[in-house]
Amino acid sequence: MHRSARHTAPGEEGALPRPDAARWAVGRALDAALDRTVAPGYTRVGLAVRRHLPTWPADPAPGSLEGRSALVTGATSGLGTATARGLARLGAQVHLVVRDEDKGERVRAQLLKAVPGARLDVWRCDVADLDDVRRFAAALTERLRADASSLDVMVHNAGVMPPERSTSPQGHELSLATHVLGPVAMTEALRPVLARSGQERDWARVVLVSSGGMYAQPLPVDDPEYSRDEYRPAAAYARTKRIQVELLPVLARRWAGERIAVQAMHPGWADTPGVASSLPGFYRVTRPFLRSPDEGADTAVWLAAAHPPPLTGQFWHDRAARPTSLLRRTRTTDLDRARLWQWCAGQLGLQP
């Protein structure tokens, strides 16, 4: 592992000055308590409390992404739009990757009002469609090469929660295709331009927007396509988010040689169109406590711009690395992780 990617505690190497040991210990304990109790920690209350703890890392410096380029999938609403806005405010050129190009152009216009002078490009791509992913990656690569540019940040935010089991054009369960297979295929196809950034500048950053709901699901090694059990939308969503998180060590090792770091984060409970439409009961009860999209996107933006870059291959919430399992029944073995990766690689035509 390269030295500059070592994760440092907030207060070291450019973050907030470290307070005395007692205050630091209390801050860590309160942060952990918020995380384990879920309800307060995942709401806007949890974020507000953490922002006042001595353990909270410094914000990225203004202009910290000037001269850099970033890609955000699912950029037309909710966390995707908020992430794009946050990256643009730090100076990045942002590629908005969307399924609906007209809607993408409307969002681009809204973002330009919020961030005058921002450099924003709209690209059409259905992340669940592996053929479309490869087409898009080839077109973006051609553009970047023509501009003698590279890609510094990828945020895989596109998400779905279909009400019944449905499949992608290649026949994969739609949640799996959108949250796992499409993002891995897109990153692999764009590895050369990411690697150029990693070699010429700082490490390139890949961020997977996951979900705290993954804590309730074990890794579905024997049924990744959710074809055996009765299909439940929320469970399908959480299962694929568990896969994202469990593949982090594998992907970190796979891409580290090219100085491409990969992280996953979950936003807590955020007020987004997807939550309102897919989980109406949950939304109705929790709405007063939900985070704004900007609050939910905060850690994704921070991971894209933090300096030095955090240690690759970790799972984050509110700018802190978190455990990947809280329940004994959801713990994953190295063997199961390897089996699942071999299956994914086989579906994508990759060498494991």
Measured between alpha carbons, how far is 250 from 239 in angstroms, rounded to an integer?
18
Which residues face 122 on adjacent strands? Answer: 96
Measured between alpha carbons, how far is 184 from 244 in angstroms, rounded to an integer?
9
Q: Which of 42, 215, 237, 283 is catalytic?
A: 237
> Which string of DSSP letters, residue by residue, matches 93-152?
EEEEEES-HHHHHHHHHHHHHHSTT--EEEEE--TT-HHHHHHHHHHHHHHHHHTT----
Torsion, CA 288, CA 290, CA 292, CA 298, rounded to 10: 150
CA 260: distance to chain centroid?
Answer: 14
273 three-state secondary structure: helix
Distance (Å) of CA 209 to CA 53, 82, 178, 319: 24, 13, 12, 13
Buried b (16+ CB within 10 A) or exposed e, 244-273: bbbbbbbbbebbbebbbbbbbbbbbbbbbe
Alpha helices in 259-330 (DSSP H): 273-278, 280-286, 293-305
- Those residues whose C-beta lies under 8 Å from the C-beta of residue 209, and which sit 6 or more positions away, are 79, 83, 155, 156, 157, 159, 264, 265, 266, 267, 300
Are 180 and 186 in contact by the 8 Å Cβ rule? The answer is no
Active site residue 42: no
- Specify whether the backbone of 38 is left (phi greater than 0), alpha (psi in -120 to 50) or beta: left
Catalytic machinery residues: 237
